[in-house]
Structures are given as structure tokens and as C-alpha cells.
Structure 1
Amino acid sequence: MARLSRPAALLLFALICFSCAAADKKKKKLYIGALFPMSGGWPGGQACLPATQMALQLVNKRTDILPDYELELIHYDSMCDPGEATKLLYDLLYTEPIKVVLMPGCSSVSTLVAEAARMWNLIVLSYGSSSPALSNRQRFPTFFRTHPSATLHNPTRVQLFQKWKWTKIATIQQTTEVFTSTLDDLEERTKEAGIDISVRQSFLTDPAVAVKNLKRQDARIIVGLFYETEARKVFCEVYKEKLYGKKYVWFLIGWYADNWFKIKDPSINCTLEQMSEAVEGHVTTEIVMLNPETVRGASKLTSQEFLTQLMSKLGGKNPEETGGFQEAPLAYDAVWALALALNKTVGPLKARGYRLEDFNYNNRDITSEIYRAMNTSSFEGVSGHVVFDAQGSRMAWTLIEQLQGGSYKKIGYYDSTKGNLSWYGNDKWIGQGPPADQTVVIEEFRYLSQRLFVSMSVFAVVGILLGIVCLTFNIYNSRVRYIQNSQPYLNNMTAVGCMMALAAVFPLGIDGLHVHRRHFPVVCQFRLWLIGLGFSLAYGSMFTKIWWVHTVFTKKDEKKEKRKHLDSWKLYATVGVLLSVDVLLLMIWQIVDPLHVTVEKFTREAPKEDLDVLIQPLLEHCSSEKMTTWLGVVYGYKGLLLLLGIFLAYETKSVSTEKINDHRAVGMAIYNVAVLCLITAPVTMILSSQQDASFAFASLAIIFSVYITLVVLFIPKKEERVSELRNQLSERHALRTRKPPSTITQNQNHSFPLLSVTLSDPKSLAPPPGYPAPSCDTHPAPQSFSNSSSLYQADNKINVNNCHTSRLQMLYK
């Protein structure tokens, strides 16, 4: 190969330099106005600005992308503050040069910029805005973003709620538009999935009150929507309120720095250990912002190569302490999306006689071409496949991570477009597994103590047997005169009523432990009817006696004969009236407002074991819709009868009559029954929530009342009858053992003569003084004598054959 001469080489070098200078001179500059938050709630500009600069350098070096143009970045620090951004936006719009595109970062700033950009026909491309409110084409017609909408987290959250079988969640949010709109979308999605947001709290700057409300309302599964700086405040309060641990799960946004809880923050007073303890185990949902696959996209870089260059650009800074490090791939791909879209518009604009450098704020044609190109973007970037939906939002996968041992671990991915959940199965929990979404409440019915029930039942059975004995005795001896004078039929009613009242002890003690709930109303009716009718028969018959004794035998104006006259039918009619009133009242109650089962709930109780459960005590009651009204009527009516009975018993205590010879015993029984009933009725209402005490008090009142009534009314009669029978047996035995006198004969073996009485002696036949002379004929003995000697043998009866002196003297003894 021939060597060039020195002049020729210099000439060639000059030509190359001239051609390069000419090429540089031909490139037109297109300016991009950007707002990077270097501080504030989300200091994403710390990593996103270097990533954007890296992309611009590569784009400007490429000869196949915008070969005649050079992209230049004009940026300011918005501090993620809409007020500051307003001033900076004014500077960008009203100072030269003209900007082709605006690139804001924070959602709050993007909302301001995108709403104003339409007035200047500007395309807005955001790299860090996630607010769902920005997905509104009518309000933001020229807005695009490489950061997916925050609502993309919500399908993933709902999927996780369903996976872990949670149906009740709580939320706490910072009061900003991005989080409010995200929460509104979450509420719609959870409602469709049958999940209830039971607690919804918000705060502006201080989350203390909101966290306390979450604790007070027993929130367990909590979705937190706030910026990183507020997240530290929230979890400092979470630690103070002990709203963490095995009973709680927090869902946070995944775009915080990995060590966000370790960063020293003067606005909180919690230590690093306390913060680490409070955040352990929380779950984050994060848009996949770094392509997990090793592919070379539009920038000719893999995701790992991009990270390496970015780390170099950051100068060795700790990525965890660099704001926006996770969103840096989105900012990088945003530049590439813009460059590819602008490159795509060169041809169509040239066909229409336009050039990109002709753009101004009044030229809608160029804006519409850029919009069309952006809307059809589709390429592989370092953050994954870049494509925009109809609202200009990026579509992407969601990464699910969990903080385990102080570091984040990937536990799954979710593709919301296909509804596909890829699960690694490496999730870890502080307890046995995922906690319950609320305190598990175990309903536990309170039942009557069976020992108490059996004890009272035994007393009731014994009382019923005693009532049967008394009733049998009264019926068997109803012809005995002093029993006849006690009105035995009324005493029979008293015994039957007492047995019915005692029978009511059994349904009073029967509860859900013995019968099914659907059969419980029948038990309630048995309680009501047995007690009501038992009281009417037992107390009504005693009240009738005392009423008529007072009515008939305390009237001093009437004659003595009339005072002693009392028709039995009036007594029975009185009892019938009292019984009819009760039957009518109970029937109306049962028809109009029947008894049914109601369940009383008590304060929840924590078990002794360390379990995430509460015991909800329940107690079944027999009740009706207007129970208070019915009880008022019944207690009022019965109470008046009891008070009137006490009064009548007191008034007749000195009355003596053979028509109702046991009215003093009846009065004593009325005293006891009235006192017990007047005490028991209000006490059982007060103790209605204590099943054992209420049953014991009511049962003992019934048992004591019945026992006292039976003993007072029937035991004296039994003793009288037993005493009478004992006397009769004694007389019979004396008659049998007495030796009968022989006829008058001379006994030769005796040294003295026997005394004898002949029938011809009239003095020997004379009766004792004051007694009538007996008749010794074929007529039978008087009825009174026959009654008293009914147990005697037939051969002992006095007749004409055996009416002699030995028997006559015995007759009047």
C-alpha cells in the first residue's frame, strides 16, 4: 500500500475535521423541560436525573435515532412540592428556548404540569407519577408516564387478600390526591371481591391519631398509602401502639428505598431497633421496574449493565440511601420512549411540510404527531416491555416482596393483564401463619349449671310426690267431718296448683343444652302456662277461702244463722273466675305476641391462653316484642291479689268458723307465698343475665312456697287424723283385753262371795250423771257412735243379745 505524502495526509485530516464540524453544525437542538425532586416527600431525582442524562448521551450518539437532532435537558428541583413546581413551570414556559416535552416527577407536580400543558400544546411524559387521577384523558389529554398507575397495585393486593382468605381490611393514607384516588379504586375492587374495608383513616402530617384509631378498632390487615418520610412517622407510632407482630400485616408501597426505616429522621423519636421491630414482616407491592430477563432492548443495554453504569454515574453512593434508585430504569426508558417517538414523527411531519424544530406552543399539528407516536410506542427497555394503555399509563407486572430479617425478599409476581400469580412459597410469618383479618370471635352459650338443675329438680320431684300424698289423703278422707269443713275440693285445687308450679321448675332449667333452638319457644310456653295456671289454682283457692271468710263471717249486721251459711258453689265460682282471667290473659299474650328466643350478648372475654380469639358469651332468653308490657300487666294483677290476700288474712285472723275451719292455716300460707313472690319477681328480673342465680332464686321461691303451703294446710290434718286413728285403736284394744263378767254363781273355791248385779236392779242400769239412758232394742246404735266404732268387729256391736251391764258401763266410760 502506497504511503501518503505529508501534504496529502494533512489535507485528508482537514477534510475529516471539516466534515465533522459540518455534521455538528447541522444538528438541531430539541429541548426537554424536566422537574426532578431532589428532596421532599419523594426525592426521586437523586437517581432519576443521572439515569436520564445517561439515556440522553446514548441517544445523542446514535445515528439511527434523530440523526439531525440533539436532545438537551433543562431541569430544576421541584422538591416534590406543587407550589414550588408552579413557579418553575412558569420559568420553563416563559423563558427561551421552547421546550418540546415536559418531564415532571411526583404525582402532585405532574397533576399541575399535565393540566396546564394542554394550554401550551405540550406533551407531558412522567417517569415517577403513580396517581390514578392522572389516568383521565379528558383532564390530561397529552399525558403519558412510564411509571404505572398506583391502581396497578390494587389487583395484586386483592389477589393476596383472597389467597390468604382475608375479608376485612383497614387503610391509612396520607391526604394527597394520589393516595386518595388509589384508595377509591381499591375500595371498588375489594367491594367486587366481597372484601370489606372496615376502617379508613387519613392524616395530613401527624399520623398519631390515625394509628391509635386503627388500634382501637382492632384493625389487623392494614394497607398504608403514604410517602417515605411519612412512612417513618407512621411506623414510629405503630411501635408505640404495638400495632405490629404476629397479629398484624401491613401492606406498603414498594418504591421506598430498601433501608427507608433505617434512615435517621429528626421528626421521629424511635430508635433503629424499634423501627426494625415495627416493620418486620410487612408486604410490599411494587411495579416491576427492572427487566428480570437478560435481553438487550432499544438502548442495547441489559438491565444489569444499566445498573452497573448507573452505579458508576452515582459515584459509589449507597443505592439504598439514594432516592429514586428503583425508579431510575423508568426515567431511563422515558428518554428512550421520547426519542423513539420523536424519531417516528420526522417522516410524517416532513410529508406535511413540518420539522421538529418548527415546534411552538401554538402548533397543534406537531403536537398531535408526537402524541400519535407516543401512543403507539412499544419497545424493550431496561425496565421491561414499554407500552402505554389508552389513558397513557404504563402496563407492567407487579413484584411482591416481604421484609424478612431486615431485608426484602421476593415472594411472587402478579400479571394483572392475565390474572396470573406466580408464587415462590417463601413467605414467612411471625406466628403459625398468616394472621386472621380480625379477632376470631367464638360464640359460646352460657348454660345453666347441671348440678344446680339436678338439685332443684330433686326438690321439685319430692314436692310433687308430697303433693300427690296430700291430694290422695284429702280425697280418701273427704268424708271426715273436720276435713269436710275445710272445703276439701279447694284444698285439692291447692295441691294440684302446687304440683303444677313445681313442674314449672323443669322447663325453667331447660335451655339450649337440652333442646334445639327451634324447639325452645315450646319450652317458653310451658314455663309461662305452668307457672300461671299453677299460681291461679294454688293461690286462687287459698285466696277464695280467705275472701269468703272475710265476706261472710265479718259482717256484724247480719243474723247469726245467715253468717254461718256459705254455699260451696260460690267458692268454686270464685276460683273459676280467677283461673279464667289467667287463661284469657295467657291466650291473648300467646296469640298477639308469642314468646320466642332472644339471645343476649355479653362483653367479649379473652381466653387464658395466648390465642388471637375472643369469647362472645351468649345467653338465651324467652321474650316477646312487648315483654315489658305483658310482665307489667301480669305482675300488677298478681301483685294486687297478693297484697289483698295479705290484708284479708290479717283481717280474718280472729274469725272462728266451722265452715272453713283451716282459714288461719290458709292465712299463714298466704303470708309466706305473698312475701316470697313479691321479693322473687323483681329480683329475677334484675338477675336475668345471670342464669344460675336467676334459676336458683326462682326455683327456690317456688319450692319454698309450695312446701310451706302443703305443710301448713295438710300436715295438721294428717296429724289430727293419725291421732284419731290412734285413739280408736287404743279403745279397740282396751275392749278386747277387758275380761267380761260371768253370771251370778257361788264359787266354792273362794273364801269370799263375788259381787254381782242382777238385771232386776234398776240402779245398776242407771247411766252416769249427765249421760242419756241407752236403748237396748233391735235398733242400731246412733250414727255418731257407729262412726267412732267403725273399726270394731261385728260381734262387738251392742244389740239385744249383748246389752248387759259390763258393756253398758264401758259405753259411757
Structure 2
Amino acid sequence: MEATFLACLFLLLPCGWSQVQLHYALLTASGSGGFSSSGGVVPAIELAQEMVNRNSTLLSNYTLTHTGVLDTKCDRTRSLELFLDTISLPSPTVLGLVGCGCSVASAPVAEIVGHFNIPQISYISMFSEASDRTRFSNFFRTIPSDGGFGPAIVSLLQLFNWERIAVFTQRDGVFNEAWQRFSRNFKQANITLKNRMISPRKTMRSVNSTNFFFEDENFRVFFLNVNSKLARQILCQALERDLTAPRYVWITYGWYQEGWWREGTNSVCSNNQLAGIVERGLALQLFPQSRHPEAMTDTGLTPRQFNTLYHERLKTLEGNDNVNFTFGASLAYDAVWTLAFALNKVSELIASHSKGEVFSLTGCNESGRGLVALENFTYQNQQMGCVIRWAVEQTHFVGVSGSVDFDDMGSRMQSGARLLQYRASDTNTLRLVLVAETTVSGDSLSNFSYVINETNTSVFLGGVLSDGRRYTQERTFSLELVVVYYSLAALGLVLCAVCLVFNCTQRNKKVVRLTSPVLNYLILAGISIIYISIFFRLMPSTEYSVNAARCSVNIVLTNLGYCMAFGTLLAKMGRVYYIFHNPTTSKKTLKD
């Protein structure tokens, strides 16, 4: 045994027999509804756990491990049951919770986790209501709050000079609350907005209804404030109505997992058809400010090294329906490190207290009564719960997803927004490509800026599409110029009238008869119509219907008069040509 101990010290590796295990609960979501899949984040969490346990300066004499992967399937009831089952077990006692995947599953657990004096660290739950510390006192997240989505969408609309958007909102608590925030941001920015509430259980019936896509109002820009399952059904109906690019654009959330349009079965649209309407669509993603891929982090890996190791582990799980790449992988990795750093801070504080050192923590008992070793923690120990919560609040480190620190509401700071586009790769599969990014702080509005090699023409191949609004073109005329034109047109009509009288009274004279009086009538009628069209061309009006009628009448009169006048002249020229180029000497009698 002594030899084993010395060997462990020599290799600087943790020895299993001397290490005390610290447990945390791990609740994920299976991707039902389009959230990050269990298989997608578990490799990142396992990697973080291994890296933490390899770090000899972190949680010495302890090994951090989860109690098992529990799948909430993004269901609030199931999430509560799994959490309470974990807490009710006599052993092991968990010191924290990482999860519970989607916002729907996280919300109910986040409200009660504080009663058990443990922190909950989420890597994907973005619902802004969690910022209420009176309800969610022990909830933290390594992803920014979705409160930035509203300003991000407004910034996106301003980037493309769009002033109208139609939103489809799922009739669910999380999406309803997001819609309320969107409406405030859109109203502030003077954006014309239409919203369609959809019940997941009545999707097909509502989507098939008349004017579901606001066809009567000619909307061209749509945002899907729904989960991916509902998004697939909406896009399928949109495909049948030919609401596709480049005349229409669809915007989705960027947290949909990879290949979300291929999930499940749809009796109407195939996966290839859905991919066709998704292609060239846009996706919005809130994400911490990223670091250089080669910059070393406090977790022992660079972002590039993490991505390499993560994808290697992901490949070993191929074939599992629950395994897909998720953008939340780096956030989940940093969530485990957040818990590890916090527990390490608590461990150091307990060690200092045992030596007689006095500490003062905001909101906690200054006497330090109730402090016990981490392995002796119980859910009833409020002092330990307060210290652990304080340690998470004070945690600050550089992770693979960027700088990790929390604001007073437990949300990730230094957030930004990314604009991505679905594009076909060389292998003919769709992938998300970053085209623009911005910084979003609270409810402040900031502007997107294109990344290198991206412009309006690269995002929209035929140019930025219209948002469907009617454009009003104002034409102004000089009053003096209008008077001159009207006077000349009136003088021309008078001249035509004089010529008409002359043609009628003198038509029997030989000279007039040779000019074909009947054809003269047609020429005078055509010229008169052209003169009359001038009055319609310059008619002033601010009414849309009047201007539309005026333009139509002007076009008809101008073309009719031109054809009558010059068509008749060409006919007379043709007859002259015939007379002078007729090879016979026979005479033709003029009958007109």
C-alpha cells in the first residue's frame, strides 16, 4: 500500500482510495422540443469532470462526480420528480445541481432548490424570470438571459431596414413571457408587429386556417417564437403555400439542436423539403463574448482543444438517437467548472475557519457556526448553503466559452448576440454560418456588424428582400410648370378642334379629299387623346386610390392616342408608297 501511495504521489494523480467523493446531480433534456440533447452535452460534462479531478490544485483530497445522467425530456413534472427523487435518497448527498436542460424543466426546480441549500447551475436555461432572486435565490446559469433576444431582433431588423415582422408564439409560459418582452422592444423601436398564438395540441388545425400567415397584410419576415417541433409543422405548411426564400425569410432561435428539421416524422413534408425552406433562413443566438480559440483558459484547455476533444467523444456515441452536437456543450463544460471552483472556495474557507480565522460573508452567519466539511453537508445546513451560494456568486474564471462571472441576478455577464444563417455545405448538408454579431447589454439596443467576408449580398443572394410594406413615392411639381403644360395642352386641344372643323367643312374640296378626311379624323382623335393624358399625368393628389387610378388612366390614354395618331400616319404613308411604286398604270379611286 505504501508503494501505491508513493507511486500516486510521483505521478501526481489522484488515488482512488484516499479521495472523498463529492456528488452533484445532473439533469439534462433529451431534445424533445428542440432543446439541447442529453447525448450532446454529456460528453462535455464528462470531460469537465475529468479535467477537474486531474487538477491537483483544485479540491485536493476530493473527487467530483455526478450521480448519473437523468433525462427530464424537457418536461416540468418529470424534472421535479427526478430532482425530488435524487434529494430523497439517503445517500449520496449532492452539493449542487447542473441542469435541468431546457427552461421549461428548469423553472420549477429552480424555485425549490434553495430550500435544500444547494445551487443550481444551468447551461441552457435562458428564461428571464429566473433573474427574480426572491423566487430563484440559488439559480445560476453560464448562458445569458433571454432578455437580450428582444433588442437583438430589433437590431437585426434595423440592419436590413425592416419595419414589419410577424411572430408565431407557442402558447406556453416561457414563450408567452418572451413575447411580452418582444412587444415592448418592438413598440419602443416603432416596429409594426403581428403575433399569432399557437397551441401545440391544435397546431395543424390552426396552421391550416385562412390567413394564418397574414397573407392579406403581405408580411415577408417571420420569427418563430416556438420550439423546434412546432417550428417544423409551421414551416411545412409555409412550404405548401410557397412562403420560401428569396421572397420570404424565416428567423429561428439559435438554440435549436443540430438537424432539428429532421427530427420526428411528418406525414406531409419530407426532411429534404423542410431543409429546402430552412436553407438561407436566419437564426439568433445569445452567447457570451468568445475568446481566441488558441488562448489558454483556467480550465486547462484552449477553446480549440476543447472542441477537438468534445467532437472525438461525440463520435464514439454515434448511432444513439439522443446524440447531437449542441452549441451549449462549452456552456455545460463551464457549468461543471463553476461548481468545482465554488466548492473549492468553500473548502478553503472551511480550512481557514478551522484554524481560527474569522470571515464575514454577506447574508451569512458571521460566527461560522454550522460550517462542516463538504462531505458532511446536509440539506438542512443553512449556513453551508449560504456559503456555497456566496462562493458561486464570487466565482470568476476564464472558461472555454469565455469569461465566466455572474451578475446580481445569477446570470452570465458579458453577453452578446450572434446572427447565423443556414447554408448548404460542400456535402449538401445544412450548417449554421456566423454572418454578424453584436453586443447586447440588458434592454439597450445595439447594432449588428458583419463579420469578415459577409455583406448584404452574401446573406441575400438577390439583394435584401422587402418586409412587405407599401412604399409611398411622393412626386412634386412646380406650379408654374404645371400651368405651362396645362396651357399648352389646352392650346393643342383648341388647335385640334379647329382642324376638325376645317376637315368637316372642306372635305369635298379636291385638295382636302386627297388627304383622306376619314384618316384625318383618326389622327386628330389620337392627338387629342395624347393632349388629354397630360392633365391626368400632372393631376395632384395625396390619395393612394386616386393616384393609382390616375396612373392607370394616363398609361391607357397615352398608348391609345399614340397608336391612333401614328398608326394612321403609317397607313397613309403605306398608301403613298403603293401609289408611287405600283408597276401597273391602272388608277385607283380614293374612297375615303
| TM-based fold match above 0.5 | yes
Asked whether the 8 Å contact 1:349–1:366 carries over to 2, the reply is no
1:8 aligns with none
Write the distance in 1 (CA, Å) between the matches of 2:381 and 2:260: 45
Q: 1:139 is paired with a residue of what secondary structure? A: coil
Give the 5 Å matches for 1:460-475: none
1:412 to 431, 436, 461: 436
C-alpha distance after superposition, 1:121-159 (max 9, x if no partner): 231111121222222222211110112222333332221
Write the distance in 1 (CA, Å) between the matches of 2:25 and 2:407: 24
Mark the CA change 1:163 to 1:143 in structure 2 (over 3 Å): closer, same or farther. Answer: same
2:341 aligns with 340
Write the distance in 2 (CA, Å) between the matches of 1:422 and 1:429: 13
2:361 aligns with none
Residue 513 of structure 1 and its aligned partner are, at CA, apart by: 5.7
Q: 2:468 is paired with a residue of what secondary structure? A: coil
Are 1:78 and 2:72 an aligned pair? Answer: yes
Q: 2:454 is paired with a residue of what secondary structure? A: coil
Are 1:172 and 2:168 an aligned pair? Answer: yes
Give the 5 Å matches for 1:436-515: 436-441=466-471
1:150 to 146, 149, 173: 146
Write the distance in 1 (CA, Å) between the matches of 2:146 and 2:72: 21
Residue 206 of structure 1 and its aligned partner are, at CA, apart by: 4.9
Asked whether the 8 Å contact 2:29–2:72 carries over to 1, the reply is yes
CA RMSD, Structure 1 to Structure 2 (Å): 3.9
Paired letter, 2:302:
T
Asked whether the 8 Å contact 1:80–1:108 carries over to 2, the reply is yes
Q: 1:213 is paired with a residue of what secondary structure? A: coil
1:57 aligns with 50
2:105 aligns with 109
2:265 aligns with 266
Paired letter, 2:236:
C
Write the distance in 1 (CA, Å) between the matches of 2:14 and 2:160: 66
Asked whether the 8 Å contact 1:44–1:327 carries over to 2, the reply is no
Are 1:124 and 2:120 an aligned pair? Answer: yes
Mark the CA change 1:324 to 1:122 in structure 2 (over 3 Å): closer, same or farther. Answer: farther
Mark the CA change 1:458 to 1:400 in structure 2 (over 3 Å): closer, same or farther. Answer: same
Number of residue equivalences: 471
C-alpha distance after superposition, 1:281-319 (max 9, x if no partner): 111122347755311212211122112222232344569
Asked whether the 8 Å contact 1:179–1:226 carries over to 2, the reply is yes
Mark the CA change 1:71 to 1:272 in structure 2 (over 3 Å): closer, same or farther. Answer: same
Mark the CA change 1:327 to 1:348 in structure 2 (over 3 Å): closer, same or farther. Answer: same
1:374 aligns with 392
Mark the CA change 1:165 to 1:73 in structure 2 (over 3 Å): closer, same or farther. Answer: same
Asked whether the 8 Å contact 1:145–1:393 carries over to 2, the reply is yes
2:90 aligns with 96
Asked whether the 8 Å contact 2:159–2:448 carries over to 1, the reply is no
Asked whether the 8 Å contact 2:346–2:387 carries over to 1, the reply is yes
C-alpha distance after superposition, 1:175-215 (max 9, x if no partner): 22222222222222222222221344433245443485124
Write the distance in 1 (CA, Å) between the matches of 2:244 and 2:295: 41
Range with bigger deviation, 177-186 or 289-298: 289-298
Question: Percent of aligned pairs with the same residue?
Answer: 25
Paired letter, 2:400:
V
Are 1:30 and 2:22 an aligned pair? Answer: yes
Write the distance in 1 (CA, Å) between the matches of 2:234 and 2:172: 16
Q: 2:433 is paired with a residue of what secondary structure? A: strand
Residue 442 of structure 1 and its aligned partner are, at CA, apart by: 5.0
Mark the CA change 1:14 to 1:187 in structure 2 (over 3 Å): closer, same or farther. Answer: closer
1:360 aligns with 378
Q: Which structure is larger by alpha-carbon Rg, 1 or 2?
A: 1
Asked whether the 8 Å contact 1:80–1:106 carries over to 2, the reply is yes
Write the distance in 2 (CA, Å) between the matches of 1:324 and 1:120: 33
TM-score, with structure 2 as normaliser: 0.70
Could you tell me which runs of 5 or more consecutive residues in structure 1 were left unpaired when the two chains were aligned: 1-10, 463-508, 518-597, 603-615, 621-689, 692-813
Paired letter, 2:140:
F
Q: 1:250 is paired with a residue of what secondary structure? A: strand
Mark the CA change 1:188 to 1:444 in structure 2 (over 3 Å): closer, same or farther. Answer: closer
1:581 aligns with none
Residue 229 of structure 1 and its aligned partner are, at CA, apart by: 2.5
Q: 1:397 is paired with a residue of what secondary structure? A: strand
Residue 92 of structure 1 and its aligned partner are, at CA, apart by: 1.3
Mark the CA change 1:618 to 1:515 in structure 2 (over 3 Å): closer, same or farther. Answer: closer
C-alpha distance after superposition, 1:386-428 (max 9, x if no partner): 1222221123232221123343322122122494644135253
Q: 1:617 is paired with a residue of what secondary structure? A: helix
C-alpha distance after superposition, 1:710-742 (max 9, x if no partner): xxxxxxxxxxxxxxxxxxxxxxxxxxxxxxxxx
Asked whether the 8 Å contact 1:218–1:438 carries over to 2, the reply is yes
Asked whether the 8 Å contact 1:294–1:302 carries over to 2, the reply is yes
Q: Using CA pairs under 8 Å that are at least 6 residues apart, name the structure with larger relative contact order, 1 or 2.
A: 2
Mark the CA change 1:14 to 1:28 in structure 2 (over 3 Å): closer, same or farther. Answer: closer
Asked whether the 8 Å contact 1:123–1:370 carries over to 2, the reply is yes
Are 1:16 and 2:6 an aligned pair? Answer: yes
Residue 14 of structure 1 and its aligned partner are, at CA, apart by: 6.4
Residue 79 of structure 1 and its aligned partner are, at CA, apart by: 1.0
Asked whether the 8 Å contact 2:36–2:101 carries over to 1, the reply is no
Asked whether the 8 Å contact 1:203–1:210 carries over to 2, the reply is no
Write the distance in 1 (CA, Å) between the matches of 2:4 and 2:134: 56
Write the distance in 2 (CA, Å) between the matches of 1:15 and 1:275: 60
Asked whether the 8 Å contact 1:156–1:398 carries over to 2, the reply is yes
Mark the CA change 1:149 to 1:205 in structure 2 (over 3 Å): closer, same or farther. Answer: farther
Asked whether the 8 Å contact 2:254–2:284 carries over to 1, the reply is yes
Mark the CA change 1:443 to 1:389 in structure 2 (over 3 Å): closer, same or farther. Answer: same
